[in-house]
Amino acid sequence: MNRDRLVFLVVVGLFAAVNLGLFLSGRLPANAEGVGILLAAGVSLALYSFLYKDNPLFKLAEHLYVGVVAAYELGQVWFQNMLPDVLPRGAAIYEAVRHPIDVGWALLGDPRQIVTIGIQVVPVILGLFLMTRLTGRSVWLSRISFAFIVGLGAGLVIPRRISAYVLDQLGPTIQPLWTEAGFAFSPFLILLGVVSVLIYFSFSFEHTGAVGAVSRVGIWFLMVSFGASFGYTVMARLSLLIGQLTFLLEKWLTLNLPLW
Amino acid sequence: MHHLSHLIAAIATLLLILTTPAFGSDEWFDTEALDNFLTAIAFSILVLVYISLARRRDLTIRRLGGLEALDEALGRATEMGKPVLFIHGLHDMNSVSTIAAVNVLSQLARRAAEFGTHLMVANRYPIVMSVSQEVVKEAFADAGRPDAYNEQDIFFAAADQFSYAATLDGLIVREEPAANIMMGYFYAESLLLAETGATTGAIQIAGTDAYTQLPFFITTCDYTLMGEELYAASAYLSRDPKLLGSLKAQDIGKAAITALLIVGTFLATFGISLPFLGAS
Amino acid sequence: MANLTNIDRRWIFLAVFISVLVPLLVGFHLPVKASPNVRAIYTSIDALDAKAGDTVLMSFDFGPSTLTELQPMAKAVLRHCFRKKLKVVGVTLLPEGVGIAETILSDVAAEFGATYGEDYIFLGYKAGNEVLILNMGEELRAAFSTDVRGTPLDDLTVTRPLRSLGDMAYVLDISAGYPGVEEWIQYGQERYRFKLGAGCTAVMAPDFFPFLQSGQLDGLLGGLAGAAEYETLIGQPDAAVSGMRPQSVGHVVIILFILFGNVAYFASRRGGGS
Amino acid sequence: MPFLQRTLPLILAFVAGIVGILTFYIPAASGIETEGATWYRIIFAFSMILGIHSLLSMHWRRIRRRQAGWGYSAVTWFGFLAMFIFGVWNNSHGPGAPIDLQGGGMVWLYDHIQVPAGATMFSLLAFFIASAAYRTFRARTPEAAILLVAAVVVMLGRVPIGVYLSEHVPTLSQWLMATPNMAARRGILIGVTLGAIATSLRIIFGIERAYLGEESEDV
């Protein structure tokens, strides 16, 4: 415990000293931008400290981060959805409720306007149904909103996946196995891979006997694929670390990094 | 078959909407999508037929290790007096991945209630949170333990991807759940969660159809439900014959595609191409 | 030997940190060779004709979190376009992409003396994700009546002759996830049949190989390495090429750890005798 | 009430599902898809209130009960309020005007907390992927050995140093990605699609209704 506290104090002290130096030497400007960079560097380093172990600095940064993000996302919802989509509809509903006779006349003139009105009103009602969960009364109304979201999502996915993930994938898998150049090895492997993976995933058979043998080939394909994807990802993750370290070195410590 | 009346209602709704001036287009069928339409119809009929057949026949299916480990995880959590943490993926409720995850959660909650395990559910979407609350509450009630349900255990952890990861990483090292169960569609946070979970010695069970994250779950979790196994999980756990029937239909679909690929390749090798596949 | 198979992972963290930090601070030269998927985009854009008024649409579908990986490739392709005097239309499907796209476009345009409106324009952001792609495919002006600065599209040299996505000589989507490449394929390329290239983070790249093979994607830039290859092809090395140093060293260190782990594992199994 | 509580949601899910399917095939209905997306956004906007309520009340409970670490919960509230106030201020335009992203406290907090924190969490993966590789890439079984070799080849093939070792490393790496990897991926995708469709159908036909907190029932 004592060692942890010592490490903690040394780290905080170092951070303070470095920033003091940066500001006093004028390498970081003493304005909103400079303070912002200091804050960004502090948050970054505090989150990195999780690599050593969970500690007060990480907890501080984590909790601050969660609070800021929550308010930001709420703001996004307000400015992107509530203001342009919900409030105009709410105002229209309010007007309609205030002048029900006008609405009635309009509907008598063209009954199909019920659809136009429904399109405006129903989503707001479905949204309001969710609010029953806060009041704790008539909570079952929220299920109607769930049903709409789940049902529509389930419906939309069906045709859209068939094209991209099945039909478009069949053609390229079907290639002649014998060409002028001789036996076509890669097309054969692709066919073997697709078929053996499909068989590996079938639910009807235990992985024994002939099905077991083909499934095993399927596992090999899966393993090559997972290994390759893993290896491919290492690079991307290192890129992110490079990016964040570059930020700390260039923007915070104001160092010049060599291009070559 | 009261679904017939539902179907009529659905089509009537659609017609009603389409005949309004707001949607003034007169093209009634996209002929380029005909192959898609026929595939969808054929497979839908297959699924529905197998679901109705399933009630009469006994269906055998292969084992899925990850699901058998769920009971082990719950048992160990109860023994250690530690919670089980269920982590939803990063898709909202309109995604099939999340729907499948909720189906698994429903079965898991039933068992957790029976075992008397403390179940925590982390969410990144409020609608998923609300649905999960409903699901867990009903499951606890069904299992005769409505008193054990606490709405605050199914919580909104954070509002974006990496604050979600930060909070859950913190939660995992501080609460040390006996098991971390990650279900749904995941992105880069998969490894942030699973690698942190691996250091606490928790049993980790993942299920995702996010192809890019499978390598990380496979290596860092004890059990991983890969791709369609996530969708099948609720059928396995509930042992409901109707749900199991739809798995059989999937197998028939796979068999048909396999046959098509092999026959198609055979024909292509002899210079005959199947025009409807657009084979090159 | 047994405890070597299970060293404290914080030593690995330290090694990774050093292996990235030191090459960032110390310069040295590494050769970069272009892969076929990167070369495909380069060849397609190189074959476009400025005199015929060929226009390239670039969709900047990424936010600040993937800037390190995606900004260099956006810059490299833009440099190629401006050098060939091709017209460029920028757009973004993400609100956080607006500032990023504006900075990249104006920075690179300044390098080549390209003028706004004459040589390139930026449409900005509109909500709607894949629906926006559909709208642009049907009628560009229905999706965007003006550019980001509020000028009607008919008053801009670049957009005056353009009706829809089908009029683009090339579309390049640089994306970090959703909405992105898959949406541009499903809702754009599949319906309106334009030539589509993609740039994405390295982690997403394997997702798109099926689309490369099926011809729906013309080429692919994957991560910092893809950008470094493009920088090399246009003969203008920049951030991506210099990022290859820590990248390479980091990779080697991780591979050494894997090898070390296996050696220790087999040694301990033999030494254990069981 | 059982009709409203049990049957109505199922009918609605069915109708929404069928409409969702059909809009794909009927060009005249493409407007419905757009409208559906708007509806979802509107419902999502309301739901966000539930999420924020859950988050803030959890931290409020900790503060009120002086639970261990309640000070950190206060930090979450502080971060929330700071961003919230700047959001309402909206760079002096107020909450009724369109969002101003040109400057102001909201952008400052976003640029200097949210962006660097997100980038840092993301970059932690560089460390985690290294330790995961070290811990788990052991050639214990033939399958594990395949995984290991494929990963190492691709890692080498993606950086210039691979070319130093052998001209063939990048070629082999590219081939691994484009052939066996793609075959496996395609197999998974086809299976996932069939599974997704079956799941969707079970939802639309009300066979699987766990999301309503109910057991499955007859067709």
Chain A residues 70-109 with a CB less than 8 Å from chain D:
70-75, 77-83, 85-86, 89
Distances (CA, A) of C37 to A184, A241, C144, C212, C256: 21, 25, 32, 8, 29
Q: Which of B55, B70, B6 has its CA nearest to residue B248?
A: B55
Q: Transcribe C113-137 into DSSP letters.
A: T--BTTTEEEEEE-S-THHHHHHHH
User: With an 8 Å Cβ cutoff, are A36 and D108 in contact?
Assistant: yes
pLDDT at B277 over 50: yes
Task: Give the pair of three-digit tokens for residue C260.
Answer: 């070390």
The CA angle B183-B184-B186, to the nearest 5 degrees, is 105
Q: What are B223's strand-pairing partners?
A: B205
Task: Give the pair of three-digit tokens for residue B224.
Answer: 């991983």
DSSP H helices in chain B: 3-18, 34-54, 65-80, 96-115, 126-142, 161-175, 189-199, 214-220, 228-238, 241-269
SS3 of residue C90 by DSSP:
strand
Over residues B212-217, mean pLDDT: 94
Nearest Cβ partner of C257 from D34, D101, D130?
D130
Q: What one-character DSSP code corresponds to residue C200? A: E
pLDDT of residue B189: 96
Task: Give the pair of three-digit tokens for residue C209.
Answer: 């190989």
Comparing A258 with A248, the larger pLDDT belongs to A248
Residue B133: partners with Cβ closer than 8 Å, 6 or more residues away? A133, B151, B154
The shortest C-alpha distance from B24 to chain C (Å) reads 15
User: With an 8 Å Cβ cutoff, are B231 and D125 in contact?
Assistant: no
pLDDT of residue B280: 38
Given 3.40.1350, 3.40.50, 1.10.3470, 2.60.40, which CATH number is that of B65-238? Answer: 3.40.50
Task: Give the pair of three-digit tokens for residue D55.
Answer: 């988050």
Chain B residues 166-205 with a CB less than 8 Å from chain D:
166, 188, 191-192, 195-196, 198
pLDDT at C1 over 50: no
Pairwise CA distance, residues B81 & B75, whole Å: 10
Residue with tokens 């309020």: D81
Pairwise CA distance, residues A17 & A9, whole Å: 12
8 Å CB contact between A189 and D180: yes
The shortest C-alpha distance from C157 to chain B (Å) reads 32
Which contacts (CB < 8 Å, 24+ apart) does range C49-53 have? C50/C84, C50/C85, C50/C86, C50/C87, C52/C169, C53/C87, C53/C161
Q: Transcribe chain A into DSSP letters.
A: -HHHHHHHHHHHHHHHHHHHHHHHTTSS-SSHHHHHHHHHHHHHHHHHGGGT---HHHHHHHHHHHHHHHHHHHHHHIIIIIIIIIHHHHHHHHHHHH-HHHHHHHHHH-TTHHHHHHHHHHHHHHHHHHTHHHHTSSTTHHHHHHHHHHHHHHHHHHHHHIIIIIIHHHHHH---SEETTEE-HHHHHHHHHHHHHHHHT-SSS-S-HHHHHHHHHHHHHHHHHHHHHHHHHHHHHHHHHHHHHHHIIIIIS-PPPP--
The rounded radius of gyration (Å) of the Cα atoms in chain D is: 26
User: With an 8 Å Cβ cutoff, are B254 and A74 in contact?
Assistant: no
pLDDT of residue B180: 97
Q: Where are the domains of chain D?
A: 1-54, 68-132, 137-208
Q: What are B236's strand-pairing partners?
A: none
pLDDT of residue B40: 93
The rounded radius of gyration (Å) of the Cα atoms in chain A is: 30
Pairwise CA distance, residues C28 & C26, whole Å: 7
The shortest C-alpha distance from D35 to chain A (Å) reads 8
pLDDT of residue D219: 39
SS3 of residue D183 by DSSP:
helix
The shortest C-alpha distance from A105 to chain D (Å) reads 26
Question: Considering only CB atoms, which chain B residues are within 8 Å of A199?
Answer: 254, 258
User: With an 8 Å Cβ cutoff, are B215 and A73 in contact?
Assistant: no
Residue with tokens 């609605």: D12
Over residues B98-115, mean pLDDT: 95
What torsion, rounded to 10 degrees, do the Cα atoms D105, D110, D116, D119 define?
Answer: -170
Residue C274 pLDDT grade (very low, low, confident, very high; cuts 50, 70, 90): very low
Q: Transcribe D129-141 into DSSP letters.
A: HHHHHHHH---SS
pLDDT of residue D27: 82
CB atoms within 10 A of CB D95: 14
Q: What is the pLDDT of residues C59-88, one digit of tens each?
A: 999 987 788 889 999 999 999 999 999 999
The chains found to touch B (3+ Cβ pairs under 8 angstroms) are A, C, D
In degrees rounded to 5, what are phi and psi of residue B223? -140, 140
Task: Give the pair of three-digit tokens for residue C91.
Answer: 């757009």
User: With an 8 Å Cβ cutoff, are B234 and D208 in contact?
Assistant: yes
The dihedral through the CA atoms of B80, B85, B86, B89 has a sign that is negative
Interface membership of C142 toward D (CB under 8 Å): no
Side-chain half-sphere exposure of A87, counting CA atoms within 13 A: 12
Task: Specify the amino acid at residue D25.
Answer: Y
Mean per-residue pLDDT over chain C, rounded: 90
Residue with tokens 């960079």: A37
8 Å CB contact between C35 and C72: no
Mean per-residue pLDDT over chain A, rounded: 91
pLDDT of residue B19: 64
Residue B238 pLDDT grade (very low, low, confident, very high; cuts 50, 70, 90): confident
Domain carrying residue C100: 32-237
C170 and C78 both lie in a single domain = yes
Residue A33: partners with Cβ closer than 8 Å, 6 or more residues away? none
SS3 of residue C89 by DSSP:
strand
Which helix (H) or strand (E) segment holds residue C60: the answer is strand C55-61
pLDDT of residue B21: 55
Pairwise CA distance, residues C56 & C172, whole Å: 7
Over residues A75-84, mean pLDDT: 88
C87 and C25 both lie in a single domain = no
Q: Which of A69, B119, B176 has its CA nearest to residue D56?
A: A69
**β pairing state of A178-179 and A182-183:** antiparallel
Task: Give the pair of three-digit tokens for residue D164.
Answer: 């130093």
Question: Considering only CB atoms, which chain C residues are within 8 Å of A242?
Answer: 20, 24, 68, 224, 243, 246-247, 250
Q: What is the pLDDT of residues B115-163, one digit of tens each?
A: 999 999 999 999 999 999 999 999 999 999 999 999 999 999 999 999 9
Residue C106 pLDDT grade (very low, low, confident, very high; cuts 50, 70, 90): very high
SS3 of residue C178 by DSSP:
coil
8 Å CB contact between C220 and C226: yes
String of b and e for A26-56 (b: at least 16 CB within 10 Å)? eebeeeeebbbbbbbbbbbbbbbbbbeebeb
DSSP H helices in B179-240: 189-199, 214-220, 228-238
CATH of the domain at C72: 3.40.50.10160
Over residues A125-129, mean pLDDT: 95
Question: Considering only CB atoms, which chain A residues are within 8 Å of C242?
Answer: 257-260
How many contacts does A have with C, using Cβ atoms within 8 A?
A: 101
User: With an 8 Å Cβ cutoff, are B165 and D121 in contact?
Assistant: yes
Residue A260 pLDDT grade (very low, low, confident, very high; cuts 50, 70, 90): low
C24 and C37 both lie in a single domain = no
As for the ipTM of the complex, it is 0.92
C6 and C54 both lie in a single domain = no
Task: Give the pair of three-digit tokens for residue C98.
Answer: 């607006």
SS3 of residue D68 by DSSP:
coil
pLDDT of residue B279: 40
Q: What percent of chain C has pLDDT over 90?
A: 58
DSSP H helices in chain D: 2, 8-25, 30-64, 70-89, 105-109, 115-136, 142-157, 160-165, 168-178, 180-204
User: With an 8 Å Cβ cutoff, are A239 and C16 in contact?
Assistant: no
Q: Considering its fold, how many domains does chain C have in total?
A: 2
Q: What percent of chain B has pLDDT over 70?
A: 91
SS3 of residue B183 by DSSP:
strand
SS3 of residue B29 by DSSP:
coil
Q: What are C173's strand-pairing partners?
A: C59, C198
Residue with tokens 């009529």: B8
The dihedral through the CA atoms of B89, B90, B92, B97 has a sign that is negative
Residues in chain C: 274
CA A43 to chain centre: 21
Pairwise CA distance, residues A88 & C228, whole Å: 49
pLDDT of residue B25: 56
Task: Specify the amino acid at residue D156.
Answer: L
Which helix (H) or strand (E) segment holds residue B204: the answer is strand B203-208
Interface membership of A234 toward C (CB under 8 Å): yes
Distances (CA, A) of C236 to B73, C36, C50, C199, C241: 55, 19, 21, 18, 9
> In which residue ranges of chain D is pLDDT below 70?
1, 215-219
Q: What is the pLDDT of residues A156-173, one digit of tens each?
A: 999 989 988 888 888 888
Pairwise CA distance, residues A233 & D137, whole Å: 15
Q: Which of A253, D204, D155 has its CA nearest to residue B44?
A: D204
Q: Which of C221, B113, B10, C230 has its CA nearest to residue A151?
A: B10
